[in-house]
Amino acid sequence: MSENRKTRRPAGQPAAASFVPLALAVAVILVVGVITEMKSRDLARHIQRTGTGIVLEDLRTDLEEAVGDQLDVLARLAGTLSATPAMSEARFMEVARALQGKTAAIGALAASWEDGRIQVWTQAGGLAPRLREVLEHMSSGESGTASIPLGAAPALVIWSPIKTATPEGGEEFCGHAVAVIDRGQLFEAAGLDAQSGKLDLALVEAEPHGGAPGRALLFGDAQVLGRDPVTTSVAMPGGAWTLAAVPSGGWSVTPGAVWPIRLLTLLSIGLVAVPMLRTRALIAERHAHVAQLKSRKNELQRLSQRLGLALDASRVGVWDFNIDTSELIWDARMDELYGMPADGRPRTYEDWRSRLHPDDLARAEAEFATCIGGDGRYRSDFRLILPDGAIRHIRATASTHRGSDGDLNLIGVNWDVTADVEHRVEIEARRREAEAATQAKSQFLATMSHEIRTPMNGVIGMLDLLLRSDLDTQQRERTSVARKSAEHLLSLLNDVLDLSKLEADRVTLEAGAINPSQIARDVVILMSAVAEERGLRLFMSLDGDVPEWVRGDPTRLRQILTNLVGNALKFTDAGSVELRLGFDARGGGALSVAVRDTGIGIPESTRAELFTRFAQLESGKRGGTGLGLAICKQLVELMGGEITVDSVEGLGSTFRFWIPAPPAASPEAVAESQEPRIVPRPPAGRRTARILVAEDNATNQKVLLAYLEMAGHDAHLTPNGAGAVAAAQARHYDLVLMDIQMPVLDGIEATRRIRALEGTASRLPIIALTANAEPGDRERFLAAGIDDYLTKPVSMTALFEAIGRALEGYSASTGAQASPGS
């Protein structure tokens, strides 16, 4: 019994001995399994992220291609505006419409210049005003993008600078070319919507300058950025966008708590089969991943080939400069552009530098150094001197890029812009020629105006004097006919000069308070004599809503009404002519005018050319130059209005026009609201004075002396400005009539010298007589010290009124009393 007790193993010992290895094995398997599961989970996550990254890279490529299409359109617009900076609005709309057809995503194209001009083309009418507001605050001189609210939904706006060539061969910034892109169509073209249900995406703008928060969300859900997404940068002007993605169901990971249950199941079917199956699955996934990478590599190779074909077709040279090692690589097209031999020798910075034109070398090197030490963007235009001595204009652009090896590279392109530069030079030369021709034409017309008006002053003056003399009936009738013919000739001269001024943009509009009904009445009264001679009824109609005072140019309005009423009377043989005024208060206010007649009417075949120069009905049988309607049209359009005509042949015509005319306060009300001022008044009765006449033309001398003698003035004559200065210094005069163009010394310089005299002579009233009152002459006359001026031909009434005003002002300022023979 005792031996049996000594040799017996305690109960449970064999079980414990067999459990320890099993427990150790299970523990080892658990540890190995947990580690394996963790590795497998990391591997699965890596594979899933890699797959997501491949899809994301595809989306980035498609998005950059879609944006590139829009940038290509914008580049074409900027290039066109650079070549033609003074493009008209109609031409801009035509170009914009043609460019928009290149891509459906662009909803509007616009241009904003530094001088404040803005031109907008858009498919949606309501978008233009908001876009103009955005453009007015755009100040950057570089390319860029922004997402801004335009219309019902935010839009993507991209812009590119417009730079024009300077005479020195460089460029200067003059504005921006802008494209507004429908984000929905852009993202649809890039395929972002096609990933719905597969990936959760977020597309955000580049970080603002200074790293400030608040990046704008362009597409998707901003919460994606907080779910550990896969991201990539999308190259854009003004900064890179960030595209982020996670699978729609999130990152799939196997929970760690499932492993013990999975281990018990695996132990039941074997400790080897399951790991082997798991390994095979992982290997299969790896093979699939490798296949995808190979497919991606092949796609990149195809894209590279297509890019090479595009570069060959566009004749653009590509270069790569390693900033860290100063290594320069460029392609065969660069050798061709720079005239380098195809010797296979590596190119250096000195190869580029040696070809630069000496006048462009310092600037081009400075721009290159600024790029490397600055923002990493390079753009420059320079000239090359080729081995054969030829000059070639090159445009270069580049940006920095850090490679996988960590080196910083500047990658860019060069292309030949010689043809564009020569074209701009040719356009500039033609512009200068046109300006010289316009200047010569203006000078010719000014000379002809003076040369014609001077003898016309003598003709009309002598006829006036003759009509005031004792004539028999036949002599008075013949003299009256001659007087009317002279006035008609003067009217033709004024029409030609007015048209030339309009063509040269030398007509300046006034902006004062005018009484439109009074002007219309004056025109009707003026033309009533012509109407009576032709047996016609001429009357005026006035709508009740026409304001008493509006803002506008009274002289030009009177000229238009006189032309239209005179034209209606000329082509009406029987019946009446009506001048009707109306007013539309909408849009700030517009004055509407209609001139109706019961005349011969206008044939349909000639109506289209009615407002062109020298257009005449009935082959000019009724007289006139055919310039009146052309002048009316240009004046109306210069005021911002429009003129039209309705006519039925044989029944009459109606000419209508409207011009902006906002209501205005009366001049009396304006004067009462201002500080009191003294207004010189004409003298109540006739006053005589000693008057010095400075005039070189013998006929005009006789006319002026006769006019002054009729009024009882004591007139003294001098033939030039030097004589006027000497006479004013030697004797006392009450007033000087000063011709402007005279030999020895002209009227302007003579006036300056009289004003420089001592005593009362320096304060003599001086009235200028000129045959060529051009825009700016009034300011020039006043600056020289002239008190008033009259345009030749000078009528007796206008002369006496001007003398009365001058004598009244002179007497009030000096306390002197003018007297004959004093």
Q: Strand 217-220 vs strand 199-204: parallel, antiparallel, or unpaired?
A: antiparallel
Residue 336 sits in a domain whose CATH number is 3.30.450.20
- Lowest mean pLDDT segment, chosen from 29-38, 185-194, 296-305, 316-325: 29-38
Strand order in the sheet with 241-247: 217-220, 199-204, 241-247, 230-234
Residue 545 DSSP code? T
Residue 694: strand pairing partners? 718, 738
Mean pLDDT (the chain) is 78
Highest averaged pLDDT of the listed ranges 408-412, 682-686, 751-755: 751-755
* Phi and psi at residue 544, to the nearest 5°: -70, -20
Quote the crossing angle between the two packed helices 13-83 and 183-190, to the nearest 10°.
Answer: 120
Average pLDDT of the segment spanning 273-301 = 75
In degrees, rounded to 5, the angle at the alpha carbon of residue 735 between the alpha carbons of residues 732 and 738 is 115
Q: CA-based Rg of the chain, rounded to a whole angstrom?
A: 45
Q: How many domains does the chain have?
A: 5
Tens-digit pLDDT profile for residues 670-728: 444 444 333 333 344 456 889 999 998 888 888 888 889 888 899 999 999 999 999 99
265, amino acid identity: T
Both 604 and 470 in one domain: the answer is no
Amino acid 153: pLDDT: 65
The answer on pLDDT for 537 being more than 90 is yes
User: Which one is predicted more confidently, 661 or 119?
Assistant: 661
Both 625 and 764 in one domain: the answer is no
* Phi and psi at residue 504, to the nearest 5°: -90, 10
Report d(CA 121, CA 96) in Å as an integer: 6
Cβ neighbours, 10 Å, residue 643: 20
Helix (H, G, I), strand (E, B) or coil at 202: strand
Q: What is the dihedral of CA 174, 92, 87, 774, to 10 degrees?
A: -110
User: Which one is predicted more confidently, 412 or 666?
Assistant: 412
Which of the four pLDDT bands, split at 50, 70 and 90, describes residue 151?
low
Residue 416: strand pairing partners? 394
Final residue of a structural domain among 189, 216, 235: 189
On the CB side of 680, CA atoms within 13 Å amount to 17
Final residue of a structural domain among 416, 438, 453: 416
Both 612 and 745 in one domain: the answer is no
The answer on pLDDT for 256 being more than 60 is no
Q: Is residue 553 part of a domain?
A: yes
SS3 assignment for 213-239: CCCCEEEECHHHHHCCCEEEEECCCCC
Q: Is residue 260 part of a domain?
A: no
Amino acid 506: pLDDT: 59
- Lowest mean pLDDT segment, chosen from 123-127, 338-342, 402-406, 672-676: 672-676
User: Which one is predicted more confidently, 659 or 406?
Assistant: 659
Query: Which residue from 752, 709, 744, 708 is spatially nearest to 728, judged by alpha carbons?
Result: 752
User: Which one is predicted more confidently, 628 or 569?
Assistant: 569
Both 730 and 806 in one domain: the answer is yes
Query: Which residue from 440, 457, 493, 435 is spatially nearest to 741, judged by alpha carbons?
Result: 457
Final residue of a structural domain among 133, 160, 189: 189
Report d(CA 556, CA 637) in Å as an integer: 12
User: Which one is predicted more confidently, 375 or 266?
Assistant: 375
Amino acid 469: pLDDT: 78
Highest averaged pLDDT of the listed ranges 168-177, 577-586, 606-615: 577-586
Q: Is residue 346 part of a domain?
A: yes
Both 445 and 518 in one domain: the answer is no
Amino acid 34: pLDDT: 62
User: Which one is predicted more confidently, 685 or 193?
Assistant: 193
- Lowest mean pLDDT segment, chosen from 24-38, 196-210, 275-289, 317-331: 24-38
Both 732 and 659 in one domain: the answer is no
Both 593 and 713 in one domain: the answer is no
Cβ neighbours, 10 Å, residue 23: 11
% the chain with pLDDT above 90 = 14
Tens-digit pLDDT profile for residues 448-464: 666 676 777 677 777 77
User: Which one is predicted more confidently, 4 or 678?
Assistant: 4
Cβ neighbours, 10 Å, residue 128: 16
Both 668 and 722 in one domain: the answer is no
Q: Is residue 634 part of a domain?
A: yes
- Contacts for 171 with CB less than 8 Å, ≥ 6 apart: 163, 164, 165, 381
Distance, C-alpha 47 to centroid of its chain? 54
* Phi and psi at residue 562, to the nearest 5°: -65, -45
Highest averaged pLDDT of the listed ranges 65-74, 317-326, 384-393, 679-688: 384-393
Average pLDDT of the segment spanning 496-507 = 62
Q: Is residue 763 part of a domain?
A: yes
Both 546 and 653 in one domain: the answer is yes
User: Which one is predicted more confidently, 332 or 737?
Assistant: 737
Both 334 and 467 in one domain: the answer is no
Amino acid 222: pLDDT: 78
Report d(CA 252, CA 255) in Å as an integer: 9
DSSP assignment of 359-417 equals HHHHHHHHHHHHHHHTTSEEEEEEEEE-TTS-EEEEEEEEEEEE-TTS-EEEEEEEEE-
Q: Which helix (H) or strand (E) holds 138?
A: none
Both 792 and 698 in one domain: the answer is yes
Residue 570 sits in a domain whose CATH number is 3.30.565.10
- Lowest mean pLDDT segment, chosen from 37-46, 532-541, 627-636: 37-46
User: Which one is predicted more confidently, 15 or 769?
Assistant: 769
* Phi and psi at residue 716, to the nearest 5°: -125, 140
Q: Which helix (H) or strand (E) holds 98?
A: helix 89-100
Let me know how long the chain is: 822
Amino acid 672: pLDDT: 46
- Lowest mean pLDDT segment, chosen from 3-17, 52-66, 806-820: 3-17
Both 522 and 669 in one domain: the answer is yes
User: Which one is predicted more confidently, 431 or 475?
Assistant: 431
Residue span of the structural domain in which 137 resides: 51-189
Tens-digit pLDDT profile for residues 65-119: 888 888 888 888 888 888 787 788 888 888 888 887 777 778 788 888 877 788 8
Instruction: Give the residue ranges of DSSP H helices in 240-348.
Output: 259-269, 273-314, 332-338
Q: Is residue 733 part of a domain?
A: yes
- Contacts for 778 with CB less than 8 Å, ≥ 6 apart: 789
Amino acid 75: pLDDT: 85
The answer on pLDDT for 264 being more than 60 is no
Q: Is residue 288 part of a domain?
A: no
Q: Is residue 244 part of a domain?
A: no
The answer on pLDDT for 780 being more than 80 is yes
